[in-house]
Amino acid sequence: MTRDITVGQFLPGHSLLHRLDPRTKIVLTFVFIIQVFISRSALSLCFLIFLLLFLIACSHVPARKVFRAVRPMIPVIVFTALINIFYVSGDPVFHYSFIRITDQGLFVGFTLLVRLTALIAGCSLITYTTSLNALAAGLEQLLAPLKRFHFPVNELSMTLSITLRFLPTIAEEFDRIIDAQKARGADFSNGNLIKKIHAYFPIILPLFMSSFRRAFELTNAIECRCYQGGNGRTKMNVLKLSRLDVQAIVFFCVAFGVSIAFNLFFPSFF
């Protein structure tokens, strides 16, 4: 299961999406997600899904990979959708004692499924097409105005990029420790829930120990490379908005306009 952690797995490439400025991508992804969540009309939602599929096609990232990030989240998504099916009021299509399923509930539940999938796919698409350093640099630039309020923007982006960089490493370690404990006769599949949780202590503890050790070594390595916080740092890749970014922004403005128009003029559910 841990192999499914795809956040922060950059696939180098030269597609349109790869060449966009990270700031453009962050802002547009953010707006896209808001759109997906506020859109009230089925037509607009369909349109946004097509937009997402179009973007995936533009990115040269296999769609399979993009949607793989959704897989570990399926239980959460399905659970949230089910809750909504049962709790939204409207015209009942199914009624048995206290269970009431309404047509609106079905719609809300189903669209939530779509919305959450689009959210995760959108986020994983940006991490597939943007290197972590670019992502951190983009975020840093976007948040730069906060520096005036003594907000540690640079340190925050450094923390973020190190977190993302070490996620796969620690996932790998997690697998290794499980194997090591299994080899010593640990049992993770039998017993009740409490027993199962107990079985995981001998994994979490070594994982913490080794993560701390990694952290100390990393601190040394970073200090050796003269890191002194954000002050006086320069960047090898200076972010510059290109013509492509302007085109992308215009394209998305039109697309979002269309989506809003669908919402205004076709507000029906079906």
Smaller CB separation from other proteins, 36 or 164? 164
For residues 164 and 168, give the distance between their C-alpha atoms in angstroms, rounded to a whole number. 8
Residue 211 in the binding site for other proteins (CB under 8 A): no
Cβ count within 10 A of residue 252: 18
CB 48 within 8 A of CB 261: no
Please tell me whether residue 102 adopts helix, strand or coil conformation: strand
The residue range among 20-28, 42-50, 81-89, 162-170 that interacts with other proteins, by the rule CB under 8 A, is 162-170
Among 236, 243, 268, 270, binds other proteins (CB under 8 A): 236
Residue 224 in the binding site for other proteins (CB under 8 A): yes
For residues 238 and 11, give the distance between their C-alpha atoms in angstroms, rounded to a whole number. 21
Residue 227 in the binding site for other proteins (CB under 8 A): yes
For residues 48 and 265, give the distance between their C-alpha atoms in angstroms, rounded to a whole number. 16
Smaller CB separation from other proteins, 104 or 210? 210
Residue 181 in the binding site for other proteins (CB under 8 A): no
Residue 240 in the binding site for other proteins (CB under 8 A): no
Residue 162 in the binding site for other proteins (CB under 8 A): yes
Nearest alpha-carbon partner for 56 in 120, 132, 121: 121
Smaller CB separation from other proteins, 179 or 217? 217
Smaller CB separation from other proteins, 185 or 232? 232
Q: How many Å is the maximal CA-CA distance in the chain?
A: 69
Nearest alpha-carbon partner for 17 in 65, 52, 44, 49: 52
Residue 111 in the binding site for other proteins (CB under 8 A): no
Give the torsion sign (CA, 242, 243, 248, 250): positive
Smaller CB separation from other proteins, 84 or 127? 127
Smaller CB separation from other proteins, 15 or 131? 131
Residue 223 in the binding site for other proteins (CB under 8 A): yes
Residue 233 in the binding site for other proteins (CB under 8 A): yes
Nearest alpha-carbon partner for 114 in 172, 36, 176: 36
The distance of closest approach from Cβ of residue 128 to other proteins in the complex, given in angstroms and rounded to an integer, is 12
The distance of closest approach from Cβ of residue 10 to other proteins in the complex, given in angstroms and rounded to an integer, is 5
For residues 270 and 267, give the distance between their C-alpha atoms in angstroms, rounded to a whole number. 9
The token duo for 89 is 């009021």
The residue range among 58-66, 229-237, 243-251, 256-264 that interacts with other proteins, by the rule CB under 8 A, is 229-237
Residues that bind other proteins (CB under 8 A): 8, 10, 12, 131-133, 161-162, 164-165, 168-169, 214, 217-218, 220-228, 232-238
